[in-house]
Amino acid sequence: MTKKSIKKINLYIFLFVGFGIGHAQLLKGTVLDTLGDPIPSKILIKTSKDSKVIREFILSPKGKFSYTLKKSYDLKGLFLEVVATGYTSYEAYTKPTDLKDELQFNFTLIKEKIHQLNEVIVESKKPFTIKKDTVVYNVDSYADGTEKKVEDLLKKLPGIEINDANGVIKYRGKSIETVTLEGDNLFDYNYSIGTKNINIDLVKEIEAIENYSENKLLKGIESSDKVILNLKLKDNKSDISGTANLGLGYADDDTVPVDSSLDILGINKKYKSFAVAAFNTIGENVSPFDYYSNSITIEGIKDRDYYTEVIIPEFAVSQLTNNNLSNINNQFFGNLNTIFQLSKKMKAKVNFYYLDDDLNSNQFLESRINTLENQFTTFDNNFITKKPTQYRGDAELKYNLSKSSLLEYDISYRDETINTSRIILSNQENDFKSNLSSRNQLLKQNLQYTKKVSSTKAVQVNILNTVNNLNQDFDIDPSVFNDADNVLDEQNITSNKYNSNLNAILLGKRPSNDNYSVLFGVNRTKDGFNSFLSNQNNAQELIAAISNNNFEFIKNEIYNQGTYNWRLGKLVIAPKYSLTYLSQDLEQNTTNLTSKNLIFEPSLSLSYKVDKTSLLTVYGGFNRNTQATNRFFSNQILINNRIVTNNTPDITLQRSQNYGLSFSKNDLYNQFELSFGGQYLAQKGNFFTNAVITENTTRLTSFFLPERTENIDFYLVLSKLVPFIKTNVKVTSNYGIFNFKNIINNSSLVDNKSTFMSNSLLVKTAFNSMFNFNNTTKLVIQKNKGQSVFSNNLLQNKFELTITPSKQLSGAVTYDYFIPSIEDNTNNYSFLSTKLVFKPKNKNWEVGFSGVNLLNENFFFERNIGEISANTFQVNLLDRYYLFNFSFTF
């Protein structure tokens, strides 16, 4: 060997040894099971996954370890294999570029479940895995046999919450955009069709995907904060499959409760399709449309700018228990959702909806009024029948013009009719009969072109056009205004709204991973409104005209918006702005209001990623908002047998400022969730309503004042799995302060301060036994200080015991306890229901039995205190019923 070769070898040895000594790594961490308990284990250190040579190893007898590496792994990286008796081994790899002086590891091992089937060993899968922005939940790891539909399992997944009233799903506190099926957006915002109706037996995994971009050309370019869920089906579920369910029973009112449905899922290379047809009379709402409580859905929030304002409201009742006993219905719902792969470049989607319902409700309202002038009592006993019918069709076409360009067109037509009749027994001189007929039609079209200019830039052009027509015809007999015999009042309202929008946006991503967007657009909105209130005789002949309104409101906007997400390590600084030239023109009768404004709306958000599971966010912004069009009619409109309303029109812009702070931590491995924060909202310039109340009528007059209102809200969510008792505990708390002003019976403007507090405690067990339970206790406290001081407090507790003696047999008992008014503890309510399901082994059918409202509570009665009144509200409930179900899966 030459001297030159020896020198080279010595140099290599010196560099290798010196480099290794200078970068000795310390490994620290824990080894836990899925419940968070430490487990004895050993960590094997190798240079590759396939290597059979163990270079070093670490013993972790108590689930914790701290070890300084004796060798260097800077050239090939560090490969760890964690092994423990009775658990599935875990593998981890650290790249050479990610090696640091100190490395922290937190390993979670899954227990092995071994079943012997002809000497074949089947091992359990991890309950969830994390892949960048996606959490993949393994359905088999969370299912215990009591779940029937996707929604039943979603309620058990960590990090996911479902609103029982409207089916809205939140993931890590954020509302999801949609639920896709094998990556295809089959349901859009009406995703509850899928979660409420797709059989969970068809689903293998549920993916929670953050930073989602539906347009694949924008993936990696746009800064998206959207969250979706994706359903991945089992490998053998293709072609046609479905479930048929028939439920019949007996109710105490001698009716036959019915709950029947048929859902069909079809999948192959050319199409994906899901259809459902359902009929029930037990208060269930399998549709995404809500006609009993009138709550706003996610789609309703997205599309509300395209609808004209409803002047005469429909009746509503709040949900009582999961069985929704206040919803006395007769609902049929049909839906078809299909995606066709027409060619390699073209894809089409169609959605059809049909709903027909017959809702009945008996609502009694009594108010003891105490004003400065006098005291009196009013009451109305309403017997209501509400019949909504909705036809709807959506179509979407996507055409890839090239690998870098996409053309999309979608059209939606919605036709909704609601007929509501009432018989009203009141303290007024007469009893009344009223009818309200409403028809609401919307045509929405959208054309969008996307061009991916490069790997870091894209351009989108969007053209949107909507047309909405709303007609409301209301009549009440006898007349509220005329004491003559055989005279009734008729209120006719015709309104429409036209919206056209054109915009273009540039999206980009810089080498530093900063995202930005710049948008330019124009928007035109035109609202038309006509109303006519008159007296008529029984032959529908006009006797006298009482009031009419006729206005047209035109709003034109030229706007520019910009965003920039500046990434500085763990910190993201996101400034935004909107610059708008706004023109408003309100023409009503002989008056004309116009305004032109240049509006600048800045906002700033700072997000700091504390660690992989924690995020701290601070934000603030300023806004200028236009007024709602239901404040623009000046002459009176009749709402019901008591209420007449009108306004003093004003188009002055409302100013608002919004600040907030939030912190969230979601550690799925340790089953720990913590989020808290606060928000401050101040608005200047609001419409105030003066209510003049007498024994027979209430006159509401709204007018604009440049006064200030303030909202301060705080929230806390804490959830933790306590491993040693195998119980999950969740605390949810909200506290709000609302400072506002009001006027009653021509009083002066009075300052009010309202506080609201809601606290709930959930305890849910996961015992390895046939018995488990979950209990939720909720306390709501509301206080108000204004012309008077009053408070309303309620307490609710829900206890559910689940029993699973075998995989074939499962049952549940649910007990709900309500104290609607803690101050008046005379009316407390108990609701008891039970359910039993038997599914034979290796069979595709099951039978079930359920009993609802077993204590037979017929009415729900609550009291609350208002500014000048003590109110009593009562609503009738579904009678006790028993239901037998037979389900067949094919």
Query: What tens digit of pLDDT does each residue of 678-693 get?
Result: 999 999 998 988 888 8
771-814 confidence digits (pLDDT tens):
999 999 999 999 988 877 888 899 999 999 999 998 889 999 99
Mean pLDDT along residues 90-106: 78
Residue 353 pLDDT greater than 70, yes or no: yes
Token couple for 465? 């056009």
Residue predicted with more confidence, 317 or 342: 342
pLDDT category at 60 given cuts 50, 70, 90 is: confident
pLDDT for residue 583: 97
pLDDT for residue 709: 92
Residue 18 pLDDT greater than 50, yes or no: no
Residue 873 pLDDT greater than 70, yes or no: yes
pLDDT category at 44 given cuts 50, 70, 90 is: confident
Residue predicted with more confidence, 371 or 674: 674
**Around Cβ 388, how many Cβ atoms within 10 Å?**
20
pLDDT for residue 3: 46
Beta bridge partners of 698: 643, 693
Stretch among 26-40, 181-195, 325-339, 725-739 having the lowest mean pLDDT:
26-40
The closest of 373, 458, 471 to 693, measured between CA atoms, is: 373
Distance in angstroms (rounded) separating the CA atoms of residues 334 and 344: 31
Query: Percent of the chain scored above 70 by pLDDT?
Result: 94
Distance in angstroms (rounded) separating the CA atoms of residues 512 and 530: 56
Beta bridge partners of 241: 265
Mind giving me the DSSP string for 412-468? EEEEEEEEEEEEEEESSSS-EEEEEEEEEEEEEEEEEEEEEEETTEEEEEEEEEEEE
What distances in angstroms separate CA 238 from CA 49, 150, 543, one per listed residue?
35, 18, 66
Mean pLDDT along residues 55-74: 80
**Around Cβ 380, how many Cβ atoms within 10 Å?**
20
Mean pLDDT along residues 551-563: 97
pLDDT for residue 779: 95
pLDDT for residue 132: 79
Dihedral of alpha carbons 195, 201, 202, 204, sign: positive
- Give the mean pLDDT of the chain: 88
pLDDT for residue 874: 93
pLDDT for residue 11: 39
627-665 confidence digits (pLDDT tens):
999 999 999 999 999 999 999 999 999 999 999 999 999
pLDDT for residue 50: 65
Distance in angstroms (rounded) separating the CA atoms of residues 317 and 384: 12
612-626 confidence digits (pLDDT tens):
889 999 999 999 999
What distances in angstroms separate CA 560 from CA 29, 459, 598, one per listed residue?
51, 15, 11
Reported as type and span, the H/E element at residue 596 is strand 591-611
Question: Residue 29: what residue type?
Answer: G
pLDDT category at 864 given cuts 50, 70, 90 is: confident
Token couple for 71? 């060798």
The closest of 692, 688, 695 to 641, measured between CA atoms, is: 695
Beta bridge partners of 408: 398, 448
**Which region, left, alpha or beta, applies to residue 324 given φ > 0 means left and ψ of -120 to 50 means alpha?**
left
Residue 575 pLDDT greater than 70, yes or no: yes
pLDDT for residue 16: 37
pLDDT for residue 577: 97
374 alpha-carbon distance from chain centroid: 45
pLDDT for residue 13: 38
Which residues, 6 or more positions from 117, have their beta carbon under 8 angstroms from its beta carbon? none
Residue 47 pLDDT greater than 70, yes or no: yes
Token couple for 883? 């239901």
pLDDT for residue 121: 35
Residue predicted with more confidence, 467 or 195: 467
pLDDT for residue 327: 92
Which residues, 6 or more positions from 355, have their beta carbon under 8 angstroms from its beta carbon? 287, 289, 331, 332, 333, 334, 388, 389, 390
Residue predicted with more confidence, 100 or 463: 463
Residue 887 pLDDT greater than 60, yes or no: yes
Mean pLDDT along residues 312-325: 85
Residue 731 pLDDT greater than 70, yes or no: yes
Give pTM, 2 decimals.
Answer: 0.82
411-439 confidence digits (pLDDT tens):
999 999 999 999 999 998 889 999 999 99
Query: Percent of the chain scored above 90 by pLDDT?
Result: 56
Residue 286 pLDDT greater than 80, yes or no: yes
pLDDT for residue 109: 83
pLDDT for residue 113: 56
Mind giving me the DSSP string for 220-242? TTS----EEEEEEE-TT--EEEE
The closest of 818, 713, 709 to 756, measured between CA atoms, is: 713
Mean pLDDT along residues 90-105: 78
